[in-house]
Structure 1
């Protein structure tokens, strides 16, 4: 493939390419991965860079027949002695992936290892065959043979074949016994399941622990997930002091197992057991310990330090808790919930926190009911009819429905109370107008954001549109629009019902928050139907002339191009093949042209035979499900899918340009401004994915296209999935993989932020932060897990970009956004950066690929009238995939697996 690539060239389904063959590292006590010889790699500037066009690691990509290695060995479930367990532990400690296992996982893995006995001169596994088992040599000696030549002799106490625990890549060498040997072995499925069971149980238990802590009740689920990654497991022996009275405290503890004694001045006050917690004040105030906590038995706790908590949530936990409480209370209030998140945030930021002691008057009798809003943050208040507790709003009814009434009694603090207060005038200054009117506009805004023709506008443009809306009223039987007349306005029903009538026949009725006439504001269409009021009707109306005043020609063209990508009436028979533009293991991608509209599309074809051979039914369906959810100007658009008896087809947006890897090779090291352009683009892409619970898992320059105006397009969703909870699958390109993927302990959406941190480092310094000169996955993984993040000596330690890289490459997944996406976008490096201008494509791009489409080629293809089927068959005829040497077994198709295509 040339450097002038298109979306299809690297955009593949699960198995575009079988991962490249890499060498397993056969670690002995005398060698380490750092001693391996690394071949010369392609350079960018003065640095090395490997171009991996497809993910190198993906344990889902291939299925092999059940592996039976070593076939000549006898296998038993021998009971392990303490000496056996120690020998296995020592061997595992020489493998950096395995030595990172927590104690519970390690114990379970060792417990499931089976005992192998094999005679001299027998093959344990053969070079080129898929790997499945990791071994620890118990007695005897074996030799490593690569391409027929002995490379090493491995002695008892060493482990080998560890890459088999990641996926079933072909063995890079043959292992043969020199004498009678015994081994302990664990297969990949057992290994992963053991780790998954332990970590899933720990995760669920830790979640429940956090939920049980009143101090943390008002944290959001996102914030709690961040804290989960920060929890550290600690063990204490009977008699040990966990905390001491008078010491400065900065850790909070939850007991997982065992019992502790809590004492003051050497007098026991109480005992605490599983689920109890202590030290919570340390998270708020960093205050001295008020008691000594001593382990009575063997005790296991999970703890979190104040600094780790600040990394995840920010510097002031009390303030965060109160802001969360205010947001939850406003969301619960029927009178405040219609404020936008931004409006609520502005209100919360200026609310005053007041403290009242038990018995104090909070709201005096005779105060105006509509003058203030109060939110209870802590404690309880005695009101007119009942006790009011935390998360309760007072006065919200009268903000939206003004009244001259006054409070008839005093509202009094029943306990010590913290309460947030703001005046109606301050709220209206925050939201920019009358509260009732803002509520009505927000209703309309929610509808406008659903209008497909207007997708892609920024928040500022939406707000401008809302200000242009006019209220219009209709009586029963009034005609709102007439079929055949020119359209010049768009309507949203505020209240009431209208009938839609075409050629005198009623088609349907539509009601509150439905809309009609949207095409009239972008196209010169006549009305396709008559709309009449059924009873009294009130609508918001947007005039075309008003719309065109705020939407410039560039935005109009952008919206029109997006609309063209929503045309799902296209049929395969209307497409003319131009040329093959990409080919992978599973399928091929063709540049095609619509016969009448001359619009270019990329058409990806996947044969049913290959889907069966590689067993990727679920992956094909998942890719379609994910792509159909995505509608973002920086993400390649899936327009439609087709199927026939031979293939599955994906009709996609054709992206004319180059991938970012090739662009970086052309530009070299990026300036701060150029790096910010690409990084911010990726932030918007990740935001769109994560809002839909989609994890990408393979962010790297090769999967980012730079289109014909220099803007980014994300392609290739073969490694993506919709994430609920945690994933334990090893997927990605090693240099860009987060530590938690490598360790197999379970991971969430935050792995994508790690990959972004790797790319930002690459943009600014022209090299990779971990394993730059390594091309063996095991060596790369060791660098990621074991090495420090190092910056070039000339780099300013206080530069904002460096601080952002450190944040994104934090090994605590919860700390990578700095608390949430909003905080990430507000990072000092992005100060003064216009996110809206980027989304509207108003920022000059760093580089515009010089790509021309040969019009003669298009005309020739249309003139020849060649069929798609003929073009596809010609390519498929040269594809002898069953002779690839990889052992596969065809999988029967699940019933109706392709029903959505």
Structure 2
């Protein structure tokens, strides 16, 4: 299989032997075994075994070619039984031995575990014995265990092919040895190709922290940039021999491994491992193929743990023996805090839960002292406390015992001052008490002022009771945006808001306090409205009829509106309303069902196929046109074989992608036009985007990287599309230049929603592209839309610099992951490297590439608006000019005609019928919702 290119509007991968593409980490099986339907690669039979097809992802991250499959450990909607992580008894000496190995600095995975997580991991490790000459792991086999050598010795062998690809050292092979990041001083200073010596590494040149390593690029024989790959997929992976390891376990003896020690002729000894060494940590992150073969030099014993146990621990799913202080418990407790749960939805509560800090108290220690001022809210996670000396003066109350799930100090989040005066003493009565704490300052950083949130929540409830808004089928985020768009204005008594027969501003007024008098001279009526009443809806509709194209134009009204006493109103102008919902004519009209957004008038027989844009494991993608409307309606038709979808357990994921595509409507996100199916295949008809990938704009044969203004424009387009998804609680999860196409106007279109998922709290699937993975994704800590903000920072860096910040040719994947989780990266120097990264660009990139997801730009109180409001994007989002395409694009693709597909590779147009086994009735029923 060659390298991959995404087709216009379809997100498929095409073979491109000369392209420099990224690996898409194919997500865990419960999330989808490929990057979405239509993820493609060339095949004679077109029926690959996906798992074998992608065994070599571990070697291919630098080229970002192809995809790989990582097996699911559990379905995210069905949390596993905590007892699955079996606790195995060990002596104190054994525990200390394993912990010292884990914490020796060579395995970055364990550096980011809490002591409790490490303890549970150690408790889950089993001891196994291996006879002399037994093969423990074989190069190319899928890895699922991490090993710590207890006794004996192990020889490590690597094939000549692997050695020829610069993976001939233990650290490069991820065998648990200490690794030292090096630099290649011979790298060119040409734009997009730079290397930094350690003397270049300073705070000014980097993000929030100093640099580790130096990204580099490499030229191939024809002068184009590419990232080296290790193993070609063209060979027959089914011929790779599995080691014949058997595991025998009883109640008294450790497991025993025995395997054939036969080695391939081209495998060479590269090192020896002994007691205290470890190997296989990447197997705890995903099902990567082994980089080497390990053979017992003599009988030895080892401790091992599998990726399932590791992921359960890192995702917060602990065993019953563990202390329960994770965010899931906190979320449930927060739902009981009425001043929060009444005004915050579940995603917002989850953000609070994820930012809570655990604090321990000893028995007898006071958590709060009566009379002192406190600004923190506490949720008791474990242990018990006594609330005593309650009340002031004659208002005294009985002592109260409180335990896990109880809370106190929540009103301090509402205080206008430094905090709230505590009205009681609170003392720990258990040996250890753990509370999850958040200060007022932390809360306001994450979500904003609680008082403002409560005020907006009340305003939103009022807005939702107004008939013309309540019956419009508006989404929750639209009500939220309307509420935030309302301006509060105070009027003095006697102020006249409108005079009958005179022009007035079309707007909705919600009365927050005071009274107004509305006189209708034509009807001879006088009404007095007060708090929680509203007026102005009739004027809004008249405005739309009279001045359809000008939302700011005043309109004559038959009403006289006068303020009777000091009054405060929240005002929503027609212009503000239309910026959220589109035309004001939508008010009072229910939106069409989601499925109705598809064009039911187009049938498969109406389409004429012109050429294949890509071929894949599930089928192909065709450039098609409507037979009756030639050269007017041009589409990309994705064809997916049902049998292959069933084989790879992708049915629900294909349906999920389709439903998400239907639910979104944005000019910068690919549009799904129609869906079809027949007895053998599914079809998705999408807009054809003719300008090619953003990747080819960034990476040209003669150079890498684009000017700052162009990067700013493209990044702004992507920010708009991501913000649209995030408002609907949808995570995209595979942002990279290959998933962004350029339309005929030069604007970016986000494609391939195969990994997109509705996420209210957190999801725990490792998916995406290695170079674009965030720290929390790598460490299986659970993730949300923050991973998209991280990827946006990587994208902006790659556009300006010409390469991603954490990867470089020759750098082992484990080293790249270490650099990612440490969030250390370099910026080039303009004088030395010829690449100009402005201070504003550096700042926004550094804020997006913040290690802690809760502190990342886009994840704070302002959400995606914080990104838009960053000085780097000054004026580009003003007046919605970007979405309205009023800003000149930096580059326009040359399009000869409507059917011009010259930006995509040429394929033989084989339109053969599928001749495989027919689906049964029960199998066909699985596609009923498509």
Where do 1:690-729 residues align within 5 Å? 690-729=726-765
1:478 matched residue in structure 2: none
Deviations 1:706-765 (A, max 9, x none): 123211111222222333542111101122122221221222233212211222233344
Structure 2: distance between partners of 1:322 and 1:796: 45
1:259 matched residue in structure 2: 384
Deviations 1:791-820 (A, max 9, x none): 557799995544433443334434432323
Structure 1: distance between partners of 2:770 and 2:435: 33
1:845 matched residue in structure 2: 889
Structure 2: distance between partners of 1:335 and 1:576: 44
Deviations 1:539-571 (A, max 9, x none): xxxxxxxxxxxxxxxxxxxxxxxxx99644344
| 8 A Cα contact 1:121 1:178, kept in partner | yes
1:618 matched residue in structure 2: 652
| 8 A Cα contact 1:210 1:216, kept in partner | yes
Question: 633, 640, 664: which is aligned to 2:698?
Answer: 664
| 8 A Cα contact 1:134 1:159, kept in partner | yes
| Structure 1 residue 656, shift from structure 2 partner | 0.8
Corresponding residue pairs, total: 695
Which is greater in Rg? 1
Question: 540, 551, 554: which is aligned to 1:438?
Answer: 540
| 8 A Cα contact 1:613 1:891, kept in partner | no
| Structure 1 residue 679, shift from structure 2 partner | 1.9
2:250 matched residue in structure 1: none
Deviations 1:140-188 (A, max 9, x none): 2222211111222222233322222233232221121122222222223
| 8 A Cα contact 1:726 1:747, kept in partner | yes
Question: Which piece of structure 1 moves more, 109-118 or 194-203?
Answer: 194-203
Where do 1:500-579 residues align within 5 Å? 567-579=599-611
2:81 matched residue in structure 1: none
Change (3 A) 1:570 1:213: closer
2:405 matched residue in structure 1: 275
Change (3 A) 1:293 1:6: same
Question: 36, 45, 52: which is aligned to 1:13?
Answer: 36
1:813 matched residue in structure 2: 853
| Structure 1 residue 298, shift from structure 2 partner | 0.8
| Structure 1 residue 704, shift from structure 2 partner | 0.4
| 8 A Cα contact 1:604 1:649, kept in partner | yes
Change (3 A) 1:229 1:61: closer
1:188 matched residue in structure 2: 307
Question: Which piece of structure 1 moves more, 169-178 or 323-332?
Answer: 323-332
Where do 1:28-177 residues align within 5 Å? 50-54=62-66, 59=71, 79-93=89-103, 94=105, 95-147=107-159, 148-177=267-296
Structure 2: distance between partners of 1:57 and 1:704: 23
The reply to whether residue 737 of structure 1 matches residue 773 of structure 2 is: yes
Change (3 A) 1:257 1:399: farther
Deviations 1:58-98 (A, max 9, x none): 556999xxxxxxxxxxxx98522233333333333342223
Change (3 A) 1:405 1:690: closer
| Structure 1 residue 19, shift from structure 2 partner | 4.7
Question: Which piece of structure 1 moves more, 601-610 or 288-297?
Answer: 288-297
The reply to whether residue 652 of structure 1 matches residue 690 of structure 2 is: no
| 8 A Cα contact 2:743 2:749, kept in partner | yes
Where do 1:221-620 residues align within 5 Å? 221=345, 222-238=347-363, 251-260=376-385, 273-278=403-408, 280=410, 283=413, 284=415, 285-287=417-419, 295-296=428-429, 297-314=431-448, 316-328=449-461, 330-331=463-464, 344-347=483-486, 349-350=488-489, 434=536, 436-438=538-540, 567-599=599-631, 600-620=634-654
Change (3 A) 1:591 1:340: closer
| 8 A Cα contact 2:515 2:528, kept in partner | no
The reply to whether residue 207 of structure 1 matches residue 331 of structure 2 is: yes
Structure 2: distance between partners of 1:227 and 1:399: 44
Change (3 A) 1:154 1:603: same
SS of 1:615 mapped into structure 2: coil
SS of 1:149 mapped into structure 2: strand
| 8 A Cα contact 1:340 1:442, kept in partner | no
Change (3 A) 1:891 1:181: farther
Change (3 A) 1:670 1:461: farther
| 8 A Cα contact 1:248 1:286, kept in partner | yes
The reply to whether residue 825 of structure 1 matches residue 868 of structure 2 is: yes
| Structure 1 residue 55, shift from structure 2 partner | 5.4
| 8 A Cα contact 1:444 1:466, kept in partner | no
| Structure 1 residue 683, shift from structure 2 partner | 2.0
Structure 2: distance between partners of 1:351 and 1:80: 71
SS of 1:198 mapped into structure 2: coil
SS of 1:143 mapped into structure 2: strand
RMSD between aligned residues: 5.2
SS of 2:96 mapped into structure 1: helix
Structure 2: distance between partners of 1:219 and 1:607: 46
Q: Which has the higher helix share?
A: 1
SS of 1:254 mapped into structure 2: strand
2:32 matched residue in structure 1: none
1:558 matched residue in structure 2: none
Structure 1: tracts of 5 or more residues without a match: 25-38, 42-49, 64-75, 353-362, 373-390, 412-420, 429-433, 450-456, 470-491, 495-511, 516-563, 859-867, 880-889
State TM-score, norm by structure 2.
0.63
Structure 2: distance between partners of 1:4 and 1:335: 43
1:542 matched residue in structure 2: none
SS of 2:147 mapped into structure 1: strand
SS of 1:761 mapped into structure 2: helix
Structure 1: distance between partners of 2:382 and 2:692: 56
Change (3 A) 1:9 1:318: closer
Structure 2: distance between partners of 1:166 and 1:811: 18
The reply to whether residue 631 of structure 1 matches residue 665 of structure 2 is: yes
Structure 2: tracts of 5 or more residues without a match: 14-34, 42-52, 76-85, 160-266, 319-323, 393-397, 472-477, 499-509, 552-573
| 8 A Cα contact 2:822 2:851, kept in partner | no
Change (3 A) 1:351 1:460: closer
SS of 1:756 mapped into structure 2: helix
SS of 2:659 mapped into structure 1: helix
Structure 2: distance between partners of 1:576 and 1:645: 20
Change (3 A) 1:2 1:149: closer
Question: Which piece of structure 1 moves more, 99-108 or 140-149?
Answer: 99-108
SS of 1:650 mapped into structure 2: strand
1:675 matched residue in structure 2: 711
| Structure 1 residue 697, shift from structure 2 partner | 0.6
The reply to whether residue 759 of structure 1 matches residue 771 of structure 2 is: no
| 8 A Cα contact 2:823 2:849, kept in partner | no
Change (3 A) 1:674 1:460: farther
Question: Which piece of structure 1 moves more, 646-655 or 324-333?
Answer: 324-333
SS of 2:317 mapped into structure 1: helix
1:871 matched residue in structure 2: 910
Deviations 1:639-692 (A, max 9, x none): 233334443333322211221111112485444432332122112211332344
| 8 A Cα contact 1:370 1:395, kept in partner | no
